[in-house]
């Protein structure tokens, strides 16, 4: 069993963060139902492959019979790689499917609380919200100055390559954000919340900026928009990390070894 996320954790975080009483009640009901199912089924397999160490710990707490190994997600570094295209000055890009509630919540938080602080400091800044199926509340953001909502795009690399900074303002969710691996593989500077980069072996101030408060998140973005040297430093270290640890060839070796261990045990 491959657990791309511990789904019950996503619902739990979502209901705890929700402010609307109806949404909160609905999300809690979903959490309880998913937890009941997920905690039972993880014990039915010879092996569960979790995507992060924290997910492994969650699964083992859910069911003591679960046998869990950690095999992270990976990235195709031949597809997501540095591209020789002009960077758009002072551009901020978010890449995420807009039909998943935690992504919508994160963008609404970013545009309401963080974006005004950035815009006040750098009036010429622009933010691109890239992702399929944006709901009405996301589409509405396009009416604000400096915000572009693209909806579905054929190739996210075009927007990522032109971006000065890539942001991941997630406050709920689980598993691993592949978009961060993709961005690092392209040599981009990334600002993320702790939840957003959970499970990825990144280090704050070395290969990524991690910020959980509105003010700090905004200041990190402002710094990177202004400081080319710091952007290149973060991007270079992130690219190095992905090539060493998260390229698909390396991940495939771990999965193959896991399958062999299962067969030997049988």
Same domain for 184 and 142: yes
Residue 233 lies in a domain: yes
Q: Residue 172: give its domain's CATH number.
A: 3.40.50.2000
Q: What is the pLDDT of residue 5?
A: 86
Same domain for 235 and 162: yes
Q: What is the pLDDT of residue 266?
A: 82
Residue 84 lies in a domain: no
Same domain for 24 and 62: yes
Residue 266 lies in a domain: no
Q: Are 188 and 83 in contact (CB under 8 A)?
A: no
Same domain for 114 and 30: no
Same domain for 121 and 58: no
Same domain for 183 and 108: yes
Same domain for 113 and 6: no
What is the residue range of 38's domain?
Answer: 2-70
Q: What is the pLDDT of residue 188?
A: 98
Residue 251 lies in a domain: no
Q: Are 168 and 110 in contact (CB under 8 A)?
A: no
Residue 78 lies in a domain: no
What phi, psi does 149 have (nearest 5°)? -110, 115
Q: What is the pLDDT of residue 18?
A: 83
Same domain for 31 and 154: no
Q: Token digits for 181?
A: 């691996």
Same domain for 223 and 122: yes
How far is residue 266's CA from residue 263's CA, in Å, rounded to a whole number?
5
Residue 258 lies in a domain: no
How far is residue 266's CA from residue 260's CA, in Å, rounded to a whole number?
10
Please name which of 192, 172, 194, 171 lies closest in space to residue 182, comparing C-alpha atoms: 192
How many domains does one find in the chain?
2
Same domain for 146 and 57: no
Same domain for 177 and 122: yes
Q: Tell me, letter by letter, the H, E, C secondary structure of the chain.
A: CEECCCHHHHHHHHHHHCCCHHHHHHHHHHHHHHHHHHHHHHHHCCCEEECCHHHHHHHHHHCCCCCEEECCCCECCCCCCCCCCCCCCCEEEEECCCCCHHHHHHHHHHHHHHHHHHHHHCCCCEEEEECCCCCHHHHHHHHCCCEEEEECCCCHHHHHHHCCEEEECCCCCCCCCHHHHHHHHCCCCEEECCCCCCCCCCCECCCEEECCCHHHHHHHHHHHHHCHHHHHHHHHHHHHHHHHHHEHHHHHHHHHHHHHHHHHHC
Residue 79 lies in a domain: no
Same domain for 42 and 174: no
Q: What is the pLDDT of residue 199?
A: 86
Residue 29 lies in a domain: yes
Q: Give me the residues of the chain with pLDDT under 50, please.
A: none
């Amino acid at each position: 069993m491959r657990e791309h996320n511990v789904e019950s954790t996503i619902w739990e975080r979502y209901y705890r963060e929700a402010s609307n009483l109806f949404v909160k009640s609905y999300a809690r009901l979903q959490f309880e139902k998913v937890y009941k199912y997920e905690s039972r089924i993880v014990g039915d397999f010879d092996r569960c492959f979790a995507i992060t160490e924290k997910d492994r710990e969650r699964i083992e707490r859910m069911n003591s019979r679960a046998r869990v190994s950690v095999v992270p997600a990976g990235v195709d570094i031949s597809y997501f790689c540095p591209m020789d295209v002009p960077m758009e000055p002072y551009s901020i890009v978010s890449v995420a499917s807009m039909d998943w509630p935690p992504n919508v919540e994160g963008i609404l938080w970013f545009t309401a609380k963080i974006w005004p602080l950035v815009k006040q400091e750098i009036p010429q800044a622009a933010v691109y919200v890239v992702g399929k199926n944006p709901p009405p509340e996301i589409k509405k953001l396009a009416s604000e100055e400096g915000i572009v909502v693209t909806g579905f795009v054929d190739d996210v690399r075009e927007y990522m390559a032109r971006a000065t900074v890539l942001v991941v303002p997630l406050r709920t969710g689980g598993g691993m954000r592949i978009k961060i691996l993709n961005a690092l593989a392209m040599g981009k500077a990334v600002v993320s919340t702790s939840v957003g980069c959970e499970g990825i072996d990144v280090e704050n101030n070395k290969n990524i900026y991690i910020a959980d408060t509105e003010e700090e998140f905004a200041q990190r973005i402002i710094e990177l928009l202004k400081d080319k040297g710091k952007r290149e430093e973060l991007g270079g270290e992130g690219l190095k990390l992905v090539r060493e640890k998260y390229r698909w060839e390396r991940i495939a070796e771990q999965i193959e070894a896991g399958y062999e261990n299962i067969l030997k045990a049988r």
